Structure 1
Amino acid sequence: MCDLTEGEIEAIAEHEHLDPMLALALGQYLISHDGDQRIKGIILDDISRAERCGNQRHAEVLRKVLHHFIATHPEHGKSAA
């Protein structure tokens, strides 16, 4: 249904405080409307929040999500957290 992984959808849900189904819809909308940079920014924000809260394990999971997102959406460069 969507070009995003479960982790990417969970990151959107976390960032936007949405139910995962609504996050899926938002993610699909963003992907289909050149919103890749917005999704990348959401994941980066989630990483920063996890680090500020001292949750390094969650930050590392989100870094993996970010790396996968960048690998599958390369049109926005290879820079990552």
Structure 2
Amino acid sequence: MLSLKDCLDFCDLDCSEIEVIAEHEHIPVIVAAELSNELLKTPEGVCSLHTMVLDNLNQALAHGDVERAARCHMAYQHLSATHPLPQHVR
């Protein structure tokens, strides 16, 4: 049986990115890890991940939630560095 740590280690995103995806999709972190892993397989999926993290960042800013905005911003910076938007959408 796989543990949460196993699933997070298997996914090519870090824990903070996966947590933001889980929050955006209202799903458990372990499911977000699986979803993220699948989305990373296509350019459209990578775009979706960027959109999810930016949606959370914008929502946090709109509600004045500075801590959450900072967490989302850090997650987006890491996502952009490790999985940049595909050329055709820039």
| TM-score bracket for this pair, using the shorter chain length | 0.7 to 0.9
* Gapped regions of structure 2 (runs ≥ 5): 1-9
20-29 or 52-61, larger mean C-alpha shift: 52-61
**Residues 70, 76 of structure 1: 8 Å contact kept:** no
Residue from 11, 15, 23 that aligns with 2:24: 15
**Residues 9, 20 of structure 1: 8 Å contact kept:** yes
Q: Percent identity?
A: 34
Residue from 26, 42, 45 that aligns with 2:55: 45
CA RMSD in angstroms, aligned pairs only: 1.3
**Residues 19, 29 of structure 2: 8 Å contact kept:** yes
Letter in 2 for 1:29: E
Is the radius of gyration larger for structure 1 or structure 2? 2
TM-score by length of 1: 0.87
Aligned length: 77
Alpha-carbon deviation of 1:73? 1.2
TM-score by length of 2: 0.79
Residue from 27, 36, 49 that aligns with 1:27: 36
Distance 1:26 1:74 in 2: 18
* Gapped regions of structure 1 (runs ≥ 5): none
